[in-house]
Chain A
Amino acid sequence: MIRRDRFDLLLFALLLGCVLVLGLLLLKGQAPTGSGARIDKALEQQIAYQARVNFLHNLYQPVEQLRQKGQLAAALLKLDELARKYPQEAHGEILRGEILLKRKAVKQAIDHFVRAVRLNGDYVDQASPLSRYPEIQGLVEAQLPVFRQRAKSNPQSQSLQNTLTGLYYLQSRLAGGCE
């Protein structure tokens, strides 16, 4: 049996005191105090994301309007203008891909979709309000056999190989998994 001396007793007393204070702090911390509301980082993060989605919606609204009117060339020019101001914004790439696809410029459309997904994975995330999952899935399913064949018949074409690699990349992202 270990013999306890006075210093042990002092340490026990201090330890007990600290545990009690800690317990009180934890209990008191349940209620909001006057010094400020309890932080909720997860909620703040969601609000910031929603604000970003709204910002993108407003920013690219003119492009959407031109697109709906069928003025695709004007929409592309507007996207050029916005790309100068926000060069790394994935949403512009997605819209450009969609417009090019409508103009039957499939290869260029794929390249822009790939760039967009590389910049922001939300476009292949079914839970995101920015999601373009069904469109990209449809594109990959339709174009993968076509570009596989084209790349096979033109093995020298680096550009075709890059697009095929891009399609594989999109296929991989659609399949999910860890990032």
Chain B
Amino acid sequence: MKRLDRQQLIILISGLSLGLLGVLLVVWGNPQNSGICVSCFLENTAGALGLHNNPRMQYLRPELIGFVLGAAMMALIGREFKSRGGSAPLPRLLAGIFLIVGCAVFIGCPIKMFLRFVAGDLTTLTGIAGLVLGVWLGIKGLAAGVNFGGSQRQTGGAGFWVPLGFVLLLTFLLWPPGFLLQSTRGSAAQAAPVLISLVVGLVLGGLAQRSRFCVTGAIRDGLLMGWRTPLLWGLAAFLTSGFATSVLTGQFHPGFYGQPGAHLDLIWSFLGMLLVGIISVVIGGCPFRQLIKSGEGDADAGLVVIGMFVGAGLVQAWQIAGTTAGVGLNGKVAVMAGLVFILANMLLYRERTA
């Protein structure tokens, strides 16, 4: 039997850690089925900074800070930190906004979608189908010449600004300023202890930087190369450890109804994740991966992260986000606008051979 090489091992460890810690964070205090959710964390953090006024969604999530700073530290240690960027900045910023729109309508990023799935939430099945189809469409687009342009090495240290922004958030976490908001009720009031959340974020951020693990990347590679791809094994490890931990901690409740943080507007779950799938492939990674890349000095990903923060504020302020009651008109309009945006950009950014 062929031995695993170092990179494959790191990917497997990343997947296993993501599943294990994603469920354990719920045991330690995070909202049910929401141990790790990049879009929810962004919405919470945007609320804490005053970007929206939903009093139930305001908390500076330490995990988010950990993801970026863990990736930055690991990239600096491994001498992989490189300032790069400069391709299609405004479309990337807008893509970041629409990434969060898709996630918010579904109620969760791709990582949370699979955490919900391994906890028995069967409403996620349409979301998974939407994500896979979105990734497939994105691949078709790339094959047909859709290209936002490659990141170029940049002088001037552009890649430091997003990690520095997260250092600022870390100081806000340690010494909260007067303007920082903190929910006393609702899902943002449910949180694992700060130190544990921060350490988990740093560990997962560091591992994800090393492994390049990404949920949509794993699906993309799986569709392109089948089971040979290591990222798909990473995803399988994530699902296995998440499922095992859910069962062992008594959080596995299979069913379609009464699931936490889930709605039954299945078509909109599908379309929301379809949007996330297409955008993730075109811009090179799911919301989690964008955070990790921004920590490595990728200014293009940094712009996506800024867009995601703007989106996180907007989905709450404009009542775009789906709730347990379903998806409102604003959410449906926003998803369709997002699909129009990404499909139009795929047409506009298509490199055609003569």
CA of A42 to CA of B47, assembled, Å: 11
With both beta carbons as reference points, the residue of chain A lying nearest to B171 in the complex is identified as A26
The reply on A8 being an interface residue by CB < 8 A is no
Complex contact A41–B184 (CB within 8 A): no
Please determine whether B178 and A39 come into contact, CB atoms closer than 8 angstroms. Answer: yes
Tell me the nearest residue of chain B to A131, going by C-beta: B185
Are A179 and B187 within 8 A (Cβ)? yes
Residue A122 is within 8 A (CB to CB) of chain B in the complex: yes
Q: Which of A2-59 contact B (CB under 8 A)?
A: 38-42, 45-46, 49
- CB < 8 Å: which of B32, B179, B264 contacts A177? B32
Over the window 116-130 of chain A, the binary record of Cβ atoms lying under 8 Å from chain B Cβ atoms (1 yes, 0 no) is 001001100101100
In the assembled complex, A175 has its CB within 8 A of some CB on chain B: yes
Among B49-57, B145-153, B241-249, B284-292, the stretch in contact with A: B49-57
Give the dominant DSSP class at A's interface: helix
Q: Which residues of A contact B325 (CB under 8 A)?
A: 118, 169
* A105 → chain B closest CB, angstroms: 23
In the bound assembly, the distance between CA atoms of A127 and B183 in angstroms comes to 11
Which residues, 138 to 179 on A, are CB-close (under 8 Å) to B?
Answer: 165, 168-169, 171-179
Interface-lining segment among B192-200, B255-263, B303-311: B255-263
Tell me whether B314 is interfacial, beta carbon within 8 Å.
Answer: no
Q: Does B40 contact A (CB under 8 A)?
A: yes
Q: Which of B40, B56, B179, B182 contacts A121 (CB 8 A)?
A: B56
Q: Which residues of B contact A175 (CB under 8 A)?
A: 32, 253, 258-261
| Bound form: Cα–Cα A125–B186 in Å | 6
Give complex CA distance A174, B261 in Å. Answer: 10
* B21 in contact (CB, < 8 A): no
Q: A179-B56, A179-B187 are in contact. Are A41 and B50 (CB under 8 A)?
A: yes
Q: Are B187 and A45 in contact (CB under 8 A)?
A: no
Check: B46 CB closer than 8 A to any chain A CB: no
B residues 273-314 touching A (CB-CB < 8 Å) = none
| B229 lies within 8 A of chain A by Cβ | no
Taking residues whose C-beta sits less than 8 angstroms from the other chain, chain B's interface range is: 35 or more
Given A169-B324, A171-B258; A178-B187 close (CB under 8 Å):
yes
| Contact assessment for A127 and B184 in the assembled complex, using a CB-CB cutoff below 8 Å | yes
With a cutoff of 8 Å between Cβ atoms, the chain B residues found around residue A42 in the complex are 180-182
Is B190 among interface residues, defined by CB-CB distance under 8 A? yes
A178 interface neighbour in B55, B257, B261, B264, Cβ under 8 Å: B261
Q: Which A residues touch B321, using CB under 8 A?
A: 179
Asked if B259 and A125 make an inter-chain contact with CB atoms under 8 angstroms apart, the answer reads no
A176 to B263, CA, bound (A): 12
B324-A173 in contact (CB<8A): yes
A41-B178, A175-B258, A178-B40 as given contacts; A49 in contact with B184, CB under 8 Å: yes
Q: Contact check, B258 vs A179: say whether CB atoms are below 8 A apart.
A: no
Residue of B nearest to A122 (CB): B185
Q: A121-B56, A179-B57 are in contact. Are A39 and B257 (CB under 8 A)?
A: no
Residue of A nearest to B43 (CB): A178
Residues of B within 8 A of A118 (CB): 325
**Interface: B124 (CB within 8 A):** no
Contact B107 A178 (CB under 8 A): yes
**Beta-carbon contact of A172 and B186 below 8 Å:** no
Known A172-B262, A177-B33; contact A40-B187, beta-carbon cutoff 8 A? no
B residues adjacent to A (C-beta < 8 A) = 31-34, 37, 40, 50, 55-57, 107-108, 112, 178-182, 184-187, 189-190, 253, 257-264, 321, 323-325
Question: 4 extra interchain contacts, Cβ-Cβ under 8 A, other than A45-B181, A174-B258, A177-B324?
Answer: A41-B178, A125-B56, A128-B185, A175-B259
Binding site for B on A (CB under 8 A): 38-42, 45-46, 49, 118, 121-122, 125, 127-128, 165, 168-169, 171-179
Can you list the 10 inter-chain pairs with the closest CB atoms, starting with the nearest?
A: A177-B261, A177-B260, A171-B258, A175-B260, A176-B32, A168-B257, A39-B178, A178-B261, A178-B34, A178-B40
